[in-house]
Amino acid sequence: MIIDGQESVTPAVLAELKRAPDARLREIMSALVRHLHDFAREVRLTEAEFERACAYIAALGHKTTASHNEVVLMAGSLGFSTLICLLNNGNNGQTETAANMLGPFWRLNAPHTENGGSIVRSPTPGPALFMNGEVRDQAGRPIEGVEIDVWHSSPEGFYENQDDKQADMNLRGKFVTDKDGRFGFRSVKPAGYPIPIDGPVGEFIRAQGRHHYRPAHLHFLFYMPGFKTLISQVYVNDDPRLDSDVQFGVTRALVGNYVRHNGPAPAADVKGEWYSLDYRFVMEPGKERLPRAPIQ
């Protein structure tokens, strides 16, 4: 169609979209066009700024590889990942949830580990951590047989795949809940870590004068047929960056009570300070679904 002036562009695009046979595509893209055009009008986007925006989006793609996704990093840095998570969990945003971002470091095929076993697979200095978890349904009943993936960074802030000093699958394990819905493991207390800032996301972070760290956390993925797969992170309560996570992941529900101890530990070889964490996860009914592993 022939465009009469700036005010006729939006209706022209929406009229074409109306013809798309896929109803959901029509809904999503029509809303996107309305908001995008309104956004340009609101900020009076200049031609130079538009060129810069296009180059920026292209750079997000160019920076993305098989083991690094700059687009996902940007979504987190805009709070978009957390928004999508909270809109789709906790009874669609109505109640508290343990759901959180998957992050870029989940791997398939973590070693099966007995409950109470250690996921420290090569010498990893740092205070011992004993985690005891339980998994319940929304009525508070324990769920037996839930498969749980656990993964986290070292006390130096590196995942095993980023660190030559760590054995393959160090600080990763797969557990199954017992008849009381319980699981547990021994590890070391994780540390916070920086996100990569050598690409367009770094440029954006620097432009705001922000730090580029995530507070320390454990990652969990709970898989059980008949339940919505629960992806979670439990953050360390004494991390100084708890309220300034560069990826906006920390929710009140996910600040864990990591208790510091300085006496006899659950394992005789632990001397000095150690930590414990107890946490109850609630799974919602729904469809089980494994996400695509971000790294192989």
> Which residues lie near Fe ion (CB under 5 A)?
103
Report the nearest approach of Fe ion to the CB of residue 103 (Å): 4
Report the nearest approach of Fe ion to the CB of residue 156 (Å): 14
Using the minimum distance from each CB to Fe ion, give the nearer residue, 170 or 227.
Answer: 170
Report the nearest approach of Fe ion to the CB of residue 218 (Å): 9
279: which 2 tokens? 């946490």
Burial class (CB in 10 A: 0-12, 13-18, 19+), 289: exposed
Residue 163: partners with Cβ closer than 8 Å, 6 or more residues away: 154, 156
Q: Which of 173, 186, 115, 176 is nearest to 144 (CA)?
A: 176
Report the nearest approach of Fe ion to the CB of residue 105 (Å): 6
Report the nearest approach of Fe ion to the CB of residue 208 (Å): 21
Exposure on the CB side of residue 95, measured as CA atoms within 13 A: 7
Using the minimum distance from each CB to Fe ion, give the nearer residue, 133 or 192.
Answer: 192
Among all residues, whose Cβ is closest to Fe ion?
103
Using the minimum distance from each CB to Fe ion, give the nearer residue, 135 or 250.
Answer: 250
Exposure on the CB side of residue 157, measured as CA atoms within 13 A: 10
Phi, psi of 184 (to 5 degrees): -170, 165
Using the minimum distance from each CB to Fe ion, give the nearer residue, 143 or 231.
Answer: 231
Using the minimum distance from each CB to Fe ion, give the nearer residue, 161 or 276.
Answer: 161
